[in-house]
Amino acid sequence: MARIIVVTSGKGGVGKTTTSAAIAMGLAKKGHRTAVIDFDVGLRNLDLIMGCERRVVYDFVNVINEEASINQALIRDKRSENLFILPASQTRDKDSLTKEGVGRVLGALSETFDYVVCDSPAGIEKGATLAMYYADDAIIVTNPEVSSVRDSDRMLGILASKSRRAETAAEPIKEYLLLTRYSPERVRLGEMLSVNDVQEILSLHLLGVIPDSKAVLNASNAGTPVILDDKSDAGQAYADVVARYLGEEVPHRFIEFQKRTLFGRLFGG
């Protein structure tokens, strides 16, 4: 039985796809069989971030419509044999997703995988609500900014009322806060909400803080999940997040502003 993880936010562009790619790769590197699904039907991007855009033949909607088998549509990652990507359709719209169809695909994946990561589209329409419907765990990606925090809270309401676990009165979805694009320096200057501020408002378990980092754009340029850039701050922060998700106790990093020393400035530390 796989554990189904939804990466969601409400607000667009906060880092869901970056996070889905990083976490899926991190879980796979730790030896867990992992599938990552792009629910952003019509605007697929996970394939690009994972660097497998030229290997897409069939997609999620083809599998739902039984035009292709799951095994035909899953793309095996070239860097980790434990990782598979199920891309979104680029030509259909979100109405091609049905609750029954998504349930069928997730059910089949659950038989062979340890984790299924669902990369949600922005918004609260069908793609987003179906991405979270079957979830066991939810990672709420939030930027330290008013509209993102408000939207995250909105998503918490939907998780608590419109998910399968809510509807069947099962144990509620485990919700985790992932604060991304964090700038300790701007927090120090009083220009940006701090981790504590956001936690106080959302009262969620903090899975981690990902700094605003140049490494993210570099990684997406290359089609490499940023977690593989283990020299970078964002890569290390995502590695910590995966370890924490798996139950390891890892202290939070990249939250305090670090003055760059002369040594650091000279050697790029």
Partner 1 sequence: MNLLDYFRKSRHSSASIAKERLQILVAHERAARNKPDYLPKLQKELLEVIRKYVQVDLDAISVTMEQDDKREVLELNIVLPDDRERKPVQQF
Ligand X SMILES: Nc1ncnc2c1ncn2[C@@H]1O[C@H](COP(=O)(O)OP(=O)(O)OP(=O)(O)O)[C@@H](O)[C@H]1O
Minimum Å gap between C-beta 235 and ligand X is 10
Residues in the chain: 269
200-203: long-range contacts, CB 8 A cutoff, minimum separation 24: 201/149, 201/153, 202/140, 202/142, 202/149, 202/152, 202/153, 202/156, 202/177
Q: Pseudo-torsion of CA 48, 49, 55, 61, nearest 10°?
A: -80
Residue 180 in the binding site for ligand X (CB under 6 A): yes
32 contacts Mg ion (rule: CB under 5 A): no
- Check binding of 16 to Mg ion (CB under 5 A): yes
**Min dist. Cβ of residue 248 to Mg ion (A):** 27
Size of the site for Mg ion (CB under 5 A): 2
Span from 53-61, 193-201, 217-225, 238-246 in contact with partner 1 (CB under 8 A):
193-201
Among 2, 4, 6, 15, binds ligand X (CB under 6 A): 15
CB 141 within 8 Å of CB 178? yes
Task: State which of residues 67, 81, 95, 200 lies at the interface with partner 1 (CB under 8 A).
Answer: 200
Nearest Cα residue to 19 out of 114, 127, 135, 143: 143
Please report whether residue 153 would count as binding partner 1 according to CB under 8 A. Answer: yes
Grouping H, G, I as helix, E, B as strand and the rest as coil, residue 36 is strand
Is residue 16 a contact point for ligand X (CB under 6 A)?
A: yes
Strand segments, DSSP code E, in the chain are: 3-8, 34-38, 75-76, 83-86, 115-119, 137-142, 174-182, 205-211
197 near partner 1, judged by CB under 8 A: yes
Q: For binding to partner 1 (CB under 8 A), which residues are involved?
A: 145-146, 149-150, 153-154, 157, 187-194, 197, 200-202
Q: For binding to ligand X (CB under 6 A), which residues are involved?
A: 9, 12-18, 40, 121-122, 180-181, 210, 212-213, 216-217, 220, 234
